[in-house]
Amino acid sequence: MSMLKEFRDFAVKGNVVDLAVGVIIGAAFGKIVDSLVKDIIMPIVGALFGGLDFSNYFIALAKIPENYTGPHTYEGLTKAGVPLFAYGSFITIALNFIILAFIIFQFVRLFNKARNRFAAEQPPEAPAAPAASEVYLKEIRDALVSRKA
C-alpha cells in the first residue's frame, strides 16, 4: 500500500502535473504549427519557386515494380512498398521545427519581458521579522556587552 501512496504523491506533485499540461499543450501547438507550415507557408513557397512541393521530393532506393500503375508520388510509392529516400519530407519537417522554435522563442521572450516589467513594478518586500530566539539572543548579547563596560 505504501508504494501506491508514493506513486500518488509523485503523480499529483505540481511539477509532474505542470509537465503533463505542457506536453499536452505542446502537442496541440505542434499540430497548429504543422498545419501552418503545410497549409499556408509551403504553398506560398511553392508558388514563389514555381510549383515546388517538397513532400514529393524523394529518391527511389529500389526499382519501381513494373506492374505498378499508380501515381509516382511519395504516398503512392510508399503504399506500393518501394523504399524511398524522402528528403523533401525531411525539409518540410525541418522547416516545421525552425518555425516552431522561433515561435516558442518569441513567446518565452515576451513572457520574460512581462515578468521583468512586473517584477520592476513590485515594491521590494519588507524583511521578515526576526525569530523570537534571535531577539532573545540579541538581548543576552547586549546585556553581556553592557556588563563588561
The pTM score is 0.51
What are the DSSP E strand ranges found in 14-140? 59-60, 84-85
Instruction: Write out the three cell numbers for 23.
Output: 506536453
> What's the domain count of the chain?
2
* Reported confidence tier of residue 146, pLDDT bands at 50, 70, 90: confident
Q: Are residues 70 and 108 in the same domain?
A: yes
pLDDT category, 7, cuts 50, 70, 90? confident
Residue range(s) defining the domain that contains residue 83 = 53-149
Interatomic CA distance for residues 132 and 138, integer angstroms: 10
What does DSSP assign to residue 12? T
Residue 148 and residue 133 share a domain: yes
Closest listed residue to residue 54, CA positions, set 44, 62, 63: 44
pLDDT computed for residue 101 by the predictor? 82
Q: What is the pLDDT of residue 49?
A: 73
77 shares a domain with 6: no
Which CATH number do you get for residue 16? Answer: 1.10.1200.120
pLDDT at 53: 63
Does the pLDDT value for residue 11 go beyond 80?
no
pLDDT tens sequence across 44-83: 877 887 766 677 788 989 888 888 888 888 888 888 889 9
Distance CA 88, CA 98 (A): 15
C-alpha cell belonging to residue 7? 506513486
pLDDT per position as a tens digit, 111-145? 888 888 877 666 767 788 888 888 888 989 988 88
